[in-house]
Structure formats: C-alpha cells, structure tokens
Amino acid sequence: MKKRILMVCLFLFPVAAWAIYKPMRILLPEFVSGITCKSEVICIDDISRYPVALKMYEEAVNFVDSSVGNLRKRPRVIFCSTAVCFNSFGFKKASATTIGTSGIVISPRGWKHYYLRHEVIHHLQAERLGIFSHWRSPEWYKEGMAYYLSLDPGKKPV
C-alpha cells in the first residue's frame, strides 16, 4: 500500500508542478497550447514569424559567443507573439525572461535583438556561475552586466 501511494505521488508531483508553477512549462513547451517547436532550440506560437525568430536567435547566440563568452549549450528560446502565450508560462510584465539554463521566453514586445542578447547573457551567467549562485548574485551584477554587454540602446553606461 505504501509503495502504491509513493508511486501515485511520484506520478502526480510533476503534473501538479506543471499546472501550478507555470515557468516549469519551459521544460516541455510543445505541450503548451499553440506552441510549436521548430527545432530543439526554437519554439514559437506563430509559425509565420519563424524566419525572424531564427535570424534573431542566430544573431544573439553568435553575438554572445564572440563578444561575451562561449556558451556551453545553446539556450532554448520560446518566441511568443501574443500576451496569452507569454502569460501561459506565468509571466506578465517583462519583455523577456530567462529561467536558469532551462530556457528563455520572449514576450510580444521583446522581439528585439538586444532583448534576446540580454537574455542569452543571463543564460551564460547561469552556466558559468551555476544556477543557484546566479540566482543569489546581486541584481546590479546580473542586470548591469546583461544591459551593458547586450548593447541595449535604452541603458546607457554611467
């Protein structure tokens, strides 16, 4: 009986986590309604925008590799062209969000080269520092580095 209960709990825990903690959906975005994964690293809700997403992705990864540091693993990026898509991962206000080394979600207003470069830099930080150390590092360090090195035109260096 105890083994049966344990087995049910082991099965239900991931299902409950998927339903309750929406950022976890980044691990299997193809199971989110409306998302299509065109490759191992690019998922999108509007297939017609795939060429733009692919170009942005390649530019951001090449930019970070050549000017910041080599990525150990290319990040998975989910490109959302609607707020409904972005919200389905549990996000509302940001232009884009990186979840450790699990992936990046781009909002409808985040389809800009420097936003994606910024998020790929966060991915690199998580790779190099480790997810826990990255999460615990000061905000000024994480964001300052990402804004400065991504060449974000809205953030001028002091």
Query: Are 96 and 110 in contact, with CB atoms under 8 Å apart?
Result: yes
109: pLDDT strictly greater than 60 = yes
pLDDT tens-digit series, residues 22-45: 456 677 778 777 999 999 999 999
Portion of the chain with pLDDT greater than 90, in percent: 54
Select the more confidently predicted residue: 126 or 91: 126
The pLDDT value recorded for residue 15 is 45
Weakest mean pLDDT among 11-15, 84-88, 94-98? 11-15
- Token pair in block for residue 117: 């470069």
Weakest mean pLDDT among 11-20, 32-41, 60-69, 128-137? 11-20
How high is the mean pLDDT of the chain? 85
Identify the band that residue 18 occupies on the pLDDT scale cut at 50, 70 and 90.
Answer: very low
Section 11-20 average pLDDT: 45
The pLDDT value recorded for residue 16 is 42
pLDDT tens-digit series, residues 114-153: 999 999 999 999 999 887 788 888 989 899 899 999 998 8
Name the residue ranges covered by the structural domains of the chain: 23-149
